[in-house]
Amino acid sequence: MNATNATNVLRTVRLGFFYMVLNLKTIYRQPAALFFVVAFPIMFLVIFSSLLTFEIGIPEEAGANVPAIKFSQYFVAGIMGVAIFGTSFNLLGTSLAIQQFDGTLKQLAATPLPKASFFIGLVGTALTYTVLQLVIMLILGVAAYGIELPDAHGWLTLIWIVLLGVPAGCVLGIAITKIIPSANAAPAIIQAPFLFLQFISGVFFTLASVPTWLQWVAGVFPLRWVAQGLRSVFLPDVYKFAEPGMNWQLELAAIVLAVWIVAGLGLSVLTFKWDRSG
């Protein structure tokens, strides 16, 4: 019995991998997706870091001798959050919705591809493109804009933020397909909350500048926690005094993201519609 289970798990993962490879190819050959989702955050990093070269700091009351940092050092954390959500929530949600309506998923549902493999493939696709984006951003950032790389502890945080943030964004992308009425409506319906969340989640503006009630709204969704986690990676530790609760809140971030993945993925997978073409 155990041997059969192990074989099944292996098969599920293996088929998920094959589906991921297929997906990576499909997206790679879509210039629009590649440009707007994968290249956009990188372009943002380049433009903002080139234009805004001033330094920023936090109020003295946080402590003495707070070091000022380059704008790019602050910005890279936020734009990486956007990249993580762009490939998971935005790209995945849009392409899933389109595939629900054009019959692609209906055909896929006729094959023995296990549901679990399908979702493994989707998350794997988002994860791959995210890692690709982040690597490019880091190389560019260090080479051209003087961004300082994190320490060992920061790297670890970066890794788990990506490993939890991408699946959480995927869950949100799968969930939003439920309210999309047609393939044409998909990009617009997904862009709206994506932009809204970017503005209230401390990506471009500090969380402290967002009204408290909107902070609460942002706190429900994963992006706020991903962005905060990324700031803990790229900003000097003393900058945590500018955060809500004067803390990076990493434990809370891990819990919120994990809840999204476990509860959200379970729910979305159970209620996922393969076919809305008819």
Closest CA to 23 of 136, 135, 111, 108: 108
Distance CA 190, CA 195 (A): 9
- Whether residue 224 contacts residue 206, with contact meaning beta carbons closer than 8 Å, is answered with no
19 binds other proteins (CB under 8 A): yes
Residue number with CB closer to other proteins (153 or 273): 273
| Site stretch for other proteins (CB under 8 A), options 16-24, 35-43, 127-135, 210-218 | 16-24
Among 7, 50, 107, 271, binds other proteins (CB under 8 A): 107
CB of 10 to other proteins, least distance (A): 13
Among 114, 154, 187, 219, binds other proteins (CB under 8 A): 114
Residue number with CB closer to other proteins (115 or 178): 115
**Binding to other proteins, residues 73-102 (CB under 8 A):** 102
172 binds other proteins (CB under 8 A): no
Among 6, 7, 10, 18, binds other proteins (CB under 8 A): 18
- Whether residue 178 contacts residue 195, with contact meaning beta carbons closer than 8 Å, is answered with no
- Binding residues for other proteins (CB under 8 A): 15, 18-19, 21-22, 25-30, 102-104, 106-107, 109-114, 275, 277
